[in-house]
Amino acid sequence: MAARIALGVIVAGAAAVGFAWGVGALGVYLFFAAVAGAVAIGASVGGDWLTGASRGRFERKRRS
């Protein structure tokens, strides 16, 4: 549900920017929205990887 609301806000913002300032500004808006999305996805994937690596460290048997 939150993802749909966030996507709706991004689309509404894109429409507002496009109507108010034109296609050039819309391109800049979409570029920065894509950068923010890529950072969010990267943080999520990286966080999951880091959590798994950390838990795996303590679940492994110690070497003799």
Residue 64's pLDDT band, with cuts at 50, 70 and 90, is: low
pLDDT in tens, 4-62: 998 899 999 999 999 999 999 999 999 999 999 899 888 888 888 888 877 776 766 66
What are the E-state strand segments in 1-64? none
Q: CA nearest 33: which of 10, 1, 17?
A: 10
Query: Domain limits of the chain?
Result: 2-59
Provide the terminal-to-terminal Cα distance of the chain, rounded to the nearest Å. Answer: 50
